[in-house]
Structure 1
Amino acid sequence: MDLPVLQASLHWNYSQLTTKVQIAYRATQIPIGWISWALNPLGRGMIGSQALLALRHANGSMIAYSTSITSYNPSMLPGELGIPVSDVSAEYVDQQMIIFGVLGPLGNRTSFNHVWQSGSTVSENIPQVHPLSGQNVESMGLINFLSS
């Protein structure tokens, strides 16, 4: 599914049997930036999001991890999510960063608010704030893994 802003797309496979979803989120990004995609099981927007994040390490390798977004000034450090997550990884190919991961089991729920982001600044391998206007504040929507 092409997402409406930030030159991004989301690919997924949902298993009704396990209620797990395998995702691949890709976005055009400069090599020194970062990208993130998240489900928000609590509401709409950034606060409460359970995020997967990718960035290029100072040594050139890709880093991918999960982080919870609990405020408008989150730490962006690796952390546990309220949603089980596994197999998180990332790669950089053809000027696109790609995050892979498995979320779930999600139980009976297949519809979620989701948000996605990108930023151009990383300091000491920590993503820095993204722009607070334009496409960066429009990057949210509703996704149904079963019917979308």
Structure 2
Amino acid sequence: MAAFCFLFIATVALLISPALSLTCTSQTFSQRNTTFANCLDLPTLKAFLHWTYSPTARPNPTLSIAFIAPPAKPDGWVAWALNPTGSGMLGAQSLIAFKDTNGSIVVKTYNISSYGPISESKISYDVLSKRAEYSGGVMTIFATLALPAAEAEVNQVWQVGAAVNNGVPAKHAFAPENLSSKNTLQLMSDAAAPSISPASAPSPAGRQSGNVTGGSSRILGSALGLYGVLVLLGVTYFGF
């Protein structure tokens, strides 16, 4: 009976733990001094955003971000952008991360001015710093942008792709989640969740902003449903 109880508890833990890990509040970074004031579970493409907005920075307000997402395929790319002129891809001032020909992860800037092939170019924001990491099938873009003026909200766009051809990110898929990967980022939202410092990560039960996807909740609900099934099986077969 003790062995059955142990197996039952271990199985439940395996079912529930992955669901709890699918929130920005559970994420940590490889450099222990990297922290952000806010984080957000983005509603599509299994993506997350951590950010710190400094409206009183001089000479310009700054926005520091960590964008996290899995590329569509291992040799693909991930992108995060601000769009100062619209809400979609056209006009997006993009940071795109991918493996270069040497296998290193690079971040390049692209002004998306048409639906045709893209080419590296300057963007309308001063990029004060940028770098990227790739680990466990997930890419992370770190960047700090100087904004022209203090703003309460900005239009953000994010995307993932499956391939890079001759150093140029290839077109992404046109599935519904690709086409809806955009929203308004409330830079100073009171409801934003505190981001986690790697040194002290609390339970992932913190508040999140209103733009959060329901995916994590659905997965957790599924896990709890399976938990109920296992409880029933335990009562039926194990007598507890």
TM over 0.5: yes
- Superposition CA RMSD, Å: 1.3
Q: Quick check: 1:12 aligned with 2:51?
A: yes
Where is the strand percentage greater, Structure 1 or Structure 2? 1
Aligned to 1:119: 161
- Asked if the contact 1:39–1:114 (Cα under 8 Å) also holds between the matched residues in 2, the reply is yes
Q: 3-state SS of the aligned residue for 2:177?
A: helix
Task: Give the deviation of 1:114 after TM superposition.
Answer: 0.8
Structure 1 segments, 4+ long, off by >3 Å, are: none
**Greater Cα radius of gyration, structure 1 or 2:** 2
State the percentage of identical aligned residues: 37
Any unmatched runs of 5+ in structure 1?
none
**Equivalence map 1:100-139=2 (5 Å):** 100-139=142-181
Aligned pair partner of 1:41 in 69, 84, 92: 84
Task: Give the deviation of 1:145 after TM superposition.
Answer: 1.2
Q: 3-state SS of the aligned residue for 1:13?
A: strand
Task: Give the deviation of 1:95 after TM superposition.
Answer: 1.0
Which string of whole-angstrom CA distances, capped at 9 and with x for unpartnered residues, describes residues 126-145 of structure 1? 10000122211010100021
Where is the helix percentage greater, Structure 1 or Structure 2? 2
Task: Give the deviation of 1:109 after TM superposition.
Answer: 1.7
Task: Give the deviation of 1:74 after TM superposition.
Answer: 4.0
Aligned pair partner of 2:124 in 61, 77, 82: 82
Letter in 1 for 2:87: R
> CA separation in 1, counterparts of 2:82 and 2:117?
16
* TM-score scaled by length of structure 1: 0.93
> CA separation in 2, counterparts of 1:83 and 1:122?
24
- Asked if the contact 1:5–1:135 (Cα under 8 Å) also holds between the matched residues in 2, the reply is yes
Aligned to 1:58: 101
Letter in 1 for 2:147: P
> CA separation in 2, counterparts of 1:104 and 1:110?
15
Letter in 1 for 2:174: L
Letter in 1 for 2:77: W
Which string of whole-angstrom CA distances, capped at 9 and with x for unpartnered residues, describes residues 81-106 of structure 1? 11111211111011100111111134
> CA separation in 1, counterparts of 2:55 and 2:114?
32
Q: Quick check: 1:3 aligned with 2:42?
A: yes
- Asked if the contact 1:65–1:89 (Cα under 8 Å) also holds between the matched residues in 2, the reply is no
Task: Give the deviation of 1:44 after TM superposition.
Answer: 1.1
- Asked if the contact 2:97–2:108 (Cα under 8 Å) also holds between the matched residues in 1, the reply is yes
* TM-score scaled by length of structure 2: 0.59
- Asked if the contact 1:9–1:27 (Cα under 8 Å) also holds between the matched residues in 2, the reply is yes
Q: 3-state SS of the aligned residue for 1:41?
A: coil
> CA separation in 1, counterparts of 2:135 and 2:50?
16
> CA separation in 2, counterparts of 1:37 and 1:51?
6
Letter in 1 for 2:132: A
- Asked if the contact 1:35–1:118 (Cα under 8 Å) also holds between the matched residues in 2, the reply is yes
For these two proteins, the number of residue pairs brought into alignment is 147
Letter in 2 for 1:53: I
> CA separation in 2, counterparts of 1:74 and 1:38?
17
Letter in 2 for 1:132: F
Any unmatched runs of 5+ in structure 2?
1-39, 193-240
